[in-house]
């Protein structure tokens, strides 16, 4: 109960906490129209997660969901706001987790990509390929991993989507196996059933294996 208290407070505050401007110009309200900073809880939740995980007896794995990225219209304004929220959230986590940052791998992922072409309402529709961001002191960072397929007309999948060249399960497997020591057999049978062909991505993290 003591360790869960920060999350209970964060959940109660998540609809009331202002999002820092983070030097990103004019922000947007709900719906993506230019206006004042959106009231949102991602930085609050990320700070709570960092505080939670930074404790000696805290958890080794945490998950936070953030919605509002399904940008079928007015994408430029919405993405500007959402990236500012994400930036503030990552900063909040980094500051809250403290020294444990050096033993942390943070993954930002989405369940589907967006089309490469803008639709008729200034947004993008559901697509195939996407991107994942990794951060943390335990990460072998400073680079782009995987193969960039390009976004030229002849390089798109079905003339509309970015090709998915890396299985997202390979990225998670690379982190889980190297960083947390989860056996590959368990990753294939229980974590990602039927994923034998998606091998763990190598050299993602340094040897700072944590016990779970």
Tens digits of residue pLDDT in 79-130:
999 999 999 999 999 999 999 999 999 999 998 899 999 999 999 999 999 9
Domain boundaries, the chain: 5-104
Nearest alpha-carbon partner for 202 in 155, 163, 145? 145
Cβ–Cβ under 8 Å, residues 177 and 188: no
CA distance 159 to 176: 35
pLDDT band at 62 (very low <50, low <70, confident <90, very high): very high
- pLDDT at residue 176 is higher than 50: yes
- CA-based torsion, 155, 156, 162, 167: positive or negative: negative
CA distance 196 to 189: 9
Nearest alpha-carbon partner for 128 in 155, 96, 95, 97? 155
How confident is the model at residue 111, as a pLDDT?
A: 87
How confident is the model at residue 206, as a pLDDT?
A: 87
CA distance 148 to 67: 26
- pLDDT at residue 1 is higher than 90: no
176: tokens are 């889980």
């Amino acid at each position: 109960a003591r360790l869960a208290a920060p999350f209970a407070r964060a959940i109660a505050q998540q609809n009331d906490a202002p999002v820092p401007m983070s030097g990103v110009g004019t922000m947007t309200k709900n719906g993506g129209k230019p206006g004042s900073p959106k009231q949102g809880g991602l930085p609050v939740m990320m700070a709570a997660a960092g505080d939670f995980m930074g404790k000696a007896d805290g958890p080794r794995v945490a998950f936070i969901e953030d919605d509002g990225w399904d940008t079928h219209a007015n994408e430029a304004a919405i993405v500007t706001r959402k990236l500012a929220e994400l930036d503030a959230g990552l900063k909040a986590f980094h500051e809250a987790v403290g020294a444990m940052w050096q033993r942390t791998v943070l993954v930002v992922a989405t369940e589907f990509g967006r089309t490469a072409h803008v639709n008729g309402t200034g947004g993008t529709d559901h697509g195939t390929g996407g991107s994942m961001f990794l951060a943390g002191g335990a990460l072998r960072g400073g680079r782009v991993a995987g193969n960039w397929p390009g976004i030229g007309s002849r390089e798109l999948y079905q003339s509309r989507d970015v090709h998915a060249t890396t299985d997202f399960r390979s990225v998670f497997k690379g982190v889980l196996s190297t960083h947390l020591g989860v056996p590959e057999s368990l990753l294939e049978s229980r974590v990602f059933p039927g994923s034998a062909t998606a091998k763990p991505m190598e050299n993602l993290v340094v040897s700072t294996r944590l016990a779970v």
